[in-house]
Amino acid sequence: MIRMMAIAAAVALLAQAPNNVRDELAALRNEAHTRRAAGDHAGYLQEAVKARELLNNNPNAILSVARGYMEAGKSEKALDALVQFADLGQVDTGMLDGSNKDFASLVESPRYKDVLKRFEENKKTVSGTQIQFDLPDPGLVAEDIDYDPSSRAFLVTSVLEKKIIRVTEKGAATDFASSPSGWPMLAIKVDGVRNLVWATEAALDGFTVAPKSDWGRSAVVCFDLKSGKLLHRFEGPAGSALGDMALDQEGDPLVSDGERGGVYRLKHGQLRLLNGTDFISPQTPAVLPDGKHALVPDYLRGIAVLDLEVGSVRWLLSNGTALSGVDGMYYDRGMLLLIQNGTSPERVIRAFLDTSLQHVVRSYVIEQNTPTLGDPTHCLSVGNDYFYIANSGWSELDDHGNVKAGSKLTPAHVMRFRSW
3-state DSSP percent of the chain in helix, strand and coil, to 5: 25, 35, 40
- Please name which of 243, 160, 242 lies closest in space to residue 208, comparing C-alpha atoms: 160
297 contacts 280 by C-beta, under 8 angstroms = no
Q: Report, as an integer, the average pLDDT of 121-146.
A: 97
Residue 7: pLDDT above 70?
no
Full-model pTM: 0.94
What is the pLDDT, as a whole number, of residue 70?
97
- Please name which of 379, 392, 371 lies closest in space to residue 419, comparing C-alpha atoms: 379
Partners of 218 in beta bridges:
202
What is the pLDDT, as a whole number, of residue 15?
37
Partners of 389 in beta bridges:
414
For 383, the 3-state DSSP assignment is: coil
365 contacts 353 by C-beta, under 8 angstroms = no
The average confidence (pLDDT) of the chain is: 95
What is the pLDDT, as a whole number, of residue 1?
59
Q: Kindly give, in sequence order, each residue whose CB lies less than 8 Å from that of residue 54, ignoring residues fewer than 6 positions away.
A: 21, 24, 25, 28, 61, 301
Q: Report, as an integer, the average pLDDT of 253-257.
A: 98
Q: How far apart are CA 66 and CA 77, in angstroms?
A: 7
Q: Report, as an integer, the average pLDDT of 209-224.
A: 98
Q: In the sheet where 302-307 sits, what is the strand order?
A: 286-287, 293-298, 302-307, 313-315
Residue 11: pLDDT above 90?
no
Backbone angles phi, psi at 61, to 5 degrees: -70, -35
3-class SS letters over 273-289: EEECCCCCCECCCEECC
What is the pLDDT, as a whole number, of residue 54?
98
Residue 294: pLDDT above 90?
yes
What is the pLDDT, as a whole number, of residue 418?
86
Residue 5: pLDDT above 80?
no
Each residue of 353-406: pLDDT tens digit? 999 999 999 999 999 999 999 999 999 999 999 999 999 999 999 999 999 999
What is the pLDDT, as a whole number, of residue 18?
41
Residue 121: pLDDT above 80?
yes
Each residue of 190-206: pLDDT tens digit? 999 999 999 999 999 99
What is the pLDDT, as a whole number, of residue 14?
36
Residue 157: pLDDT above 50?
yes
Each residue of 67-88: pLDDT tens digit? 999 999 999 999 999 999 999 9
How crowded is residue 111: how many other Cβ atoms within 10 Å of its Cβ?
A: 14
